[in-house]
Structure 1
């Protein structure tokens, strides 16, 4: 069993989230424990372990995910002047589900 907060909590509905953008295959929402002043997470609704563990069949979902990330990042950049788009891999990836952070502002203490 892997640590997958996104499937186990968010997509199952056990943890409520404030949605930012949603499509059939992708969900973007405000992070439940933000590390930055603005902190949004974008995830595929299908379990995909990570960017480096994707299968060829997941390419369409990846493109849909990137489209959502682009829209959310453009909105954050317009509102706050800048943003970062981050994904973690390997031991840096706490939750073993492909996800991207769209963040702006200073790190929260």
Structure 2
């Protein structure tokens, strides 16, 4: 755990969040500044600063499969959804804790920005 990391504090239940998933490895919660009707952040419980720091293939798969399961659970799987990982400040990563954005519930264009 990184002491100043807000996502570590959410994972450790020191800060409350609107959780939609929790197991021993992964926590998912609604984004407080949603960019789509469904906008959920999927994070590892352990502190990993970014995708560049991820070494565990099993955890990588679990994060992606959790996003897919949540898309079904949140009923956005039929219409389509997007999973985004921002890595580094130039890409828009604002919290230095690996997180996947699960976005859905509206039409999305390409390229994203």
Could you state the TM-score of these two structures normalised by the residue count of structure 1? 0.78
Higher RCO (C-alpha under 8 Å, 6+ residues apart): 1
The unaligned stretches of length 5 or more in structure 2 are: 109-113
What do you get for the CA RMSD once the two structures are aligned? 2.4
Does the 8 Å CA contact 1:73/1:85 hold for their aligned counterparts? Answer: no
Could you state the TM-score of these two structures normalised by the residue count of structure 2? 0.75
Identify the residue that residue 78 of structure 1 maps to in structure 2. Answer: 77
Matched, 1:66 2:64: yes
Does the 8 Å CA contact 2:54/2:60 hold for their aligned counterparts? Answer: no
Write out the 4+ residue segments of structure 1 that deviate beyond 6 Å after TM superposition: none
Structure with the bigger percentage of strand: 1
Counting matched residue pairs gives 103
Q: 1:106 to 1:78 in 2, by over 3 A?
A: closer
Does the 8 Å CA contact 2:86/2:93 hold for their aligned counterparts? Answer: yes
The unaligned stretches of length 5 or more in structure 1 are: none
Structure with the bigger percentage of helix: 1
Instruction: Give SS of 1:35's match.
Output: coil
Does the 8 Å CA contact 1:28/1:42 hold for their aligned counterparts? Answer: yes
Does the 8 Å CA contact 1:50/1:98 hold for their aligned counterparts? Answer: yes
What whole-Å deviation, never above 9, does each CA across 1:47-68 have from its counterpart, x for those lacking one? Answer: 111112223xx22222221221
Does the 8 Å CA contact 1:41/1:101 hold for their aligned counterparts? Answer: yes
Identify the residue that residue 19 of structure 1 maps to in structure 2. Answer: 19
Identify the residue that residue 47 of structure 1 maps to in structure 2. Answer: 47
